[in-house]
Amino acid sequence: MSAGSIQQPAPGTLPLVARSEAKLKPAIVVTGASSGIGHELARIAASDCSCMMLVARSQDALAKLAEELTSSGTSAHTLPIDLANSDAGDTIENALKERGFYCDVIVNNAGICLAGPAAELGRFEQMQLVDVNIRALSELTLRFLPGMVARGRGGVLNLGSIGSYMSAPNMAVYHASKAYVQSFSAALAAEVADTGVTVTCLSPGVVRTPLVDRLHLREHASSNSRLGQMRVTPPGRVGAVFARARASSFHEWSTAFLRRFFFSCHAG
Ligand SMILES: NC(=O)c1ccc[n+]([C@@H]2O[C@H](COP(=O)([O-])OP(=O)(O)OC[C@H]3O[C@@H](n4cnc5c(N)ncnc54)[C@H](OP(=O)(O)O)[C@@H]3O)[C@@H](O)[C@H]2O)c1
C-alpha cells in the first residue's frame, strides 16, 4: 500500500456501510446535467449504468434529458436544486435513498464562470461561484467518498479546466476555483489509489456551451476594456477555437476516455 493511502476493509468483513445498503442500487449522480458538458457526460454515463440522478436548477431541461435516457433503458431521476445552498448535499443523499439508490459515482460538473475585474464584479455572484465550484463539489465528494472506499469501488469525476493551471486577470475567482478542483482531486486520487475508487479531474479547454456564450468573449476581445486587453485571442481566432472545440479531438478524445471511466467504475 502506498504512503498516505486509505486502509481497505479487512478481507471477509462486510463493512457497515455495505450492510446498511444491501437493498440499495448503485447510481451515478451528475451535477449540472441540464446543459453543456454535464448534459453530454450524463448521456455517456447512461450507456454504462442503469440508475442516474440528474441535478441542476432547470427542471424542464433535466426532465427532457431524463425522458431521453429513460427511453433508452436507464432509470433517470431529476433533482432540481440550487447547489449554492448549504443543504444541497443532504437533499441529494436523501433523494437517492428515497429512490432506493446510493451514490456509486459522483460527477461534479456544475459550475459558474464570471468574467471581469474582481473589484467590479458583484461580491455576491463571486461568492456564489465559490459555493458551487468549490464548496458544493468538495461537500459532495467528501460526503460520498467514504462509502465508495468502504465498498472498494466507485468514482469521482470533477470538472477542472485548462484554467486550473494558470491564474487569469479578469477571471480571478473562476481560475482560482478550478486550481482548487485540480489540487483537491490530485490529492484525493493519491489517497485512494489502492482502494478500488478513482478520483479524476477533467480539465477541458474552451468548449462551446451556454457558459461560454454567456461570457460574450467576442465582444470583450474586440473592446478596449481591460477584459478585452487581457484576451490575446482576437475575435476571429476565438471563433476558430470554438470551432475546433466543437469539431475536434477534445470531444472525441474525452468521449472515449469517459466511456472507459464510467465502465471501469461500474465494472464488477
Ligand atoms: N465550456 C467550457 O469552455 C469549459 C471549459 C473548462 C471547464 N468547464 C467546466 O465545465 C463545467 C460545465 O460547464 P459548461 O461549459 O457545460 O456550462 P453550462 O452549460 O453553463 O453548464 C453549467 C451547469 O451547471 C449548472 N449549475 C450552475 N449553477 C448551479 C447551481 N447554483 N445549482 C445547480 N446547478 C448549477 C447549470 O444548471 P442550471 O443553470 O440549470 O442550474 C448547468 O447544468 C463547469 O464546471 C465549467 O467550469 C467548461
Assigned C-alpha cell, 81: 436544486
Residue 56 is predicted with a pLDDT of 98
Question: What's the mean per-residue pLDDT of the chain?
Answer: 81
Separation of 212 CA from ligand 1 center, angstroms?
9
- Counted residue by residue, the chain has a size of 268
pTM exceeds 0.75, yes or no? yes
pLDDT tens per residue across span 125-161: 999 999 999 999 999 999 999 999 999 999 999 999 8
Residue 240: count other Cβ atoms within 10 Å of its Cβ.
Answer: 12
Which carries the bigger pLDDT value, residue 265 or residue 238? 265
Separation of 76 CA from ligand 1 center, angstroms?
19
Q: Is the CB of 217 under 6 A from ligand 1?
A: no
Helix axes 59-71, 36-46, angle to 10 degrees: 20
Q: Is the CB of 196 under 6 A from ligand 1?
A: no
Pocket test for ligand 1, best of 44, 113, 212, 231 (most atoms within 8 A of CB): 113
Q: Looking at ligand 1, which atom is closest to the CA of residue 133?
A: 45
Say whether 97 sits in a helix, a strand or coil. Answer: helix
User: Which class is 24-210+250-266 in CATH?
Assistant: alpha beta
* Given 102, 165, 174, 180, the catalytic residue: 174
- Pick the range with the lowest mean pLDDT from 7-11, 206-210, 232-236, 240-244: 232-236
Residue 194: count other Cβ atoms within 10 Å of its Cβ.
Answer: 13
Residues sharing a CB contact under 8 Å with residue 28, sequence separation 6 or more, in sequence order: 45, 49, 51, 52, 53, 104, 105, 106, 107, 262
- Residue bearing cell 481497505: 8
Identify any residues that bridge with 52 across adjacent strands, giving them in sequence order.
Answer: 28, 76
Residue 8 has pLDDT above 60, yes or no: no
CB 263 within 8 A of CB 200: no
Q: Is the CB of 76 under 6 A from ligand 1?
A: no
Which carries the bigger pLDDT value, residue 214 or residue 41? 41
Separation of 110 CA from ligand 1 center, angstroms?
4
- Residue 103: its H or E element: strand 101-108
CA-CA distance, 224 to 220, in Å (whole number)? 8
- Pick the range with the lowest mean pLDDT from 98-102, 143-147, 206-210: 206-210
- Pick the range with the lowest mean pLDDT from 106-115, 170-179, 186-195, 257-266: 257-266
* Residue 90 Cα to chain centre, angstroms: 18
180 is catalytic: no
